[in-house]
Structure 1
């Protein structure tokens, strides 16, 4: 396509502006009708309907997930993926702002398709359900959805204006101790107290926690502690959430969890089973070249992104699994003040506010401009891939 970058960006910005009312209506509709992990049927129908009307080739039930989809426009490479999240939080609605993520990804895909129509490459919108614990993008990555993609782009509303996301690796384990039931008065020596073993597990993990590296921690709850106070518990179970700064550190922490469980079982005369209970979320690997390009485009709207504060981590996301495969971005753009927090009723309200609409317009424009840069700029793609390969091949895990 023989057009200057500035002219192309102007065209993209116009296409975004022409669709802003539609994009905000989509965000508002999703906000008013929250759906939860792997059950986002109305959200998926709304988004795929708009993509079909724009001429995208839509495929549903992607990766065996009924509310996952891909929508493709164009042929051959390069390929840029725009990621759409649309699940909500039970009891809180869109308290993480996924309504805005979905609308921005949709708006950017539509604008790029229109501005780049006839240009080489492919625009791919990826509908990824169940970010809040189900790991839709992780499952899509395993299924090959991102094979052949050159970059994956999304933004996340938040309480900070940060150019990249300090997102940890995380997974959950179920630890079950098996003992032997007995009457605690009549024949206490016959019993093997599984609950006592589980309690000791918590004590051992508390001691372990004092020497874990930065960002590594274990948080546990008791999910089964016995059936009656006059029966020595023959089975007790806990669920433990593990987080770490890197995926390698998470693997190390999981190994320590298993070692602790085996030691407690040996000390208490119980047997133990340790099983992973969730999809593993890998840590996020930021593509600096692409994130800086997004930040430059966003600055046109008066929003200046900065690096995250050292030592501050903001949870985990399945975008980490995508970022292990290809260059990806996940900047935060604030829709409320830094004294707030997501996963709260106040943040849910902010996701439908006037400020959210302004952020949505700016982020959609920046995503779309970054996407066309990926399509047109071979040097940018090469720089992103060089950095990605260096990070994923290096000693840091």
Structure 2
């Protein structure tokens, strides 16, 4: 271990302690004033303002997103570490995914790194990533090249588990529409081609398909158009379907199979099927255990023991997946409520502003900053992390 490492860790710890009350104030501001995806104007202004006041160089509206930002500090020579902040909320539920805590921890880690060095030996980026819950700000930021030259992307997520990494699936949405022919159901019923009946048959066929899907794959759909009146045979019907796969490759296979199913139903019902992709693909999360093990060791100092996820259990999808397939990344879960709870509930929203959350957030911030410091100043860590990412990519994991 380099002689400079323990003093650096100490300075990080002192910074987090000194800033703990302000970090909680920022997190609480976001918690009390939740903003939906792509509309997080006040949250983005608060977070970027804190970073700018601390001496970071801030770019706002990056990647074509008004509520995204990029703040940087350091010499520019050496490794580049990125601390990711999410801050969008769920309509009607507020911060029921705890993004206010992700924002506070990412902010605290970035500020602590600037405090820990007279001059950061490399680059620290604090990245504001809007719209994780819908649309995927990170997807746009990846496409815009914001993560080019980055050596690691670090964030944590509050949860009901203490897991060292996140089993997150790939996800995308499809719109499946059927075109038929309108007719009067009694006046000329044989001339009609019922698009809604075709859509219902598609739902039934997908239900059969779902029974043989591999672990991690899933299809869930809703009817978005089903006709205009009961005395008209529907000429058009459509549904919106969410598809998930344990890997991005598995998701693409499922997308192809759903398309084939729609075409088969259309052939059987005399309709015409149209399958369209809606929004962006969230790729599966690729954990970089070179870094996640370091995070787990660092947060254990606070009495938080992280374990491996339960085999076969998946916790949804996130746009962090699109970052993790390109840059070494971590996304550990740290519990703010007891086992048996789950996010996207009113109870989780309450927990995200509660006493356990106030303990977890600074602990996660310190562990994130220590992990980032390891990449910046411990010889070989950056290279090991990149080698591990290449191994996972080669294996298709």
TM-score, normalised with respect to structure 2: 0.98
State the partner residue of 1:216: 217
State the partner residue of 2:311: 310
State the partner residue of 2:53: 53
| In 2, Cα distance between equivalents of 1:196 and 1:68 | 44
State the partner residue of 1:333: 334
State the partner residue of 1:72: 72
Structure 1: 4+ residue segments shifted above 6 A: none
- Residue 114 of structure 2 contacts residue 120 of structure 2 at CA under 8 Å; is this kept in 1? no
| In 1, Cα distance between equivalents of 2:293 and 2:214 | 29
| In 2, Cα distance between equivalents of 1:339 and 1:239 | 30
Please state how far the C-alpha of 1:3 moved relative to its aligned partner: 4.6
Q: Which runs of 5+ in 2 are unaligned?
A: none
The 5 Å alignment of 1:99-178 reads 99-178=100-179
Please state how far the C-alpha of 1:378 moved relative to its aligned partner: 3.1
Secondary structure of the equivalent of 1:279?
A: strand
State the number of aligned residues: 395
The 5 Å alignment of 1:158-237 reads 158-237=159-238
| In 2, Cα distance between equivalents of 1:219 and 1:303 | 35
| In 2, Cα distance between equivalents of 1:217 and 1:124 | 35
Q: Which runs of 5+ in 1 are unaligned?
A: none
Please state how far the C-alpha of 1:76 moved relative to its aligned partner: 3.1
State the partner residue of 1:15: 15
What does the per-residue CA deviation read over 1:261-316, in whole Å, with 9 as the maximum and x for residues that have no partner?
11111111111111011211000000001000000000000000000001110000
| In 2, Cα distance between equivalents of 1:285 and 1:63 | 23
Please state how far the C-alpha of 1:361 moved relative to its aligned partner: 1.4
- Go from structure 1 to structure 2 and tell me whether the alpha carbon gap of 1:45 and 1:119 turns closer, same or farther (over 3 Å shift): closer
The 5 Å alignment of 1:337-348 reads 337-348=338-349
State the partner residue of 2:37: 37
- Residue 116 of structure 1 contacts residue 372 of structure 1 at CA under 8 Å; is this kept in 2? no
What does the per-residue CA deviation read over 1:139-196, in whole Å, with 9 as the maximum and x for residues that have no partner?
1111111000000000000000000000001000001100000001110111111001
Higher mean C-alpha displacement, 80-89 vs 133-142: 133-142
| In 2, Cα distance between equivalents of 1:116 and 1:81 | 16
Q: Say yes or no: does 1:389 pair with 2:390.
A: yes
| In 1, Cα distance between equivalents of 2:357 and 2:348 | 10
RMSD of the TM alignment (CA)? 0.9
State the partner residue of 1:86: 87
- Residue 245 of structure 1 contacts residue 283 of structure 1 at CA under 8 Å; is this kept in 2? yes
State the partner residue of 1:358: 359
Secondary structure of the equivalent of 1:301?
A: coil
- Residue 67 of structure 2 contacts residue 130 of structure 2 at CA under 8 Å; is this kept in 1? yes
| In 2, Cα distance between equivalents of 1:29 and 1:203 | 46
- Residue 67 of structure 1 contacts residue 129 of structure 1 at CA under 8 Å; is this kept in 2? yes
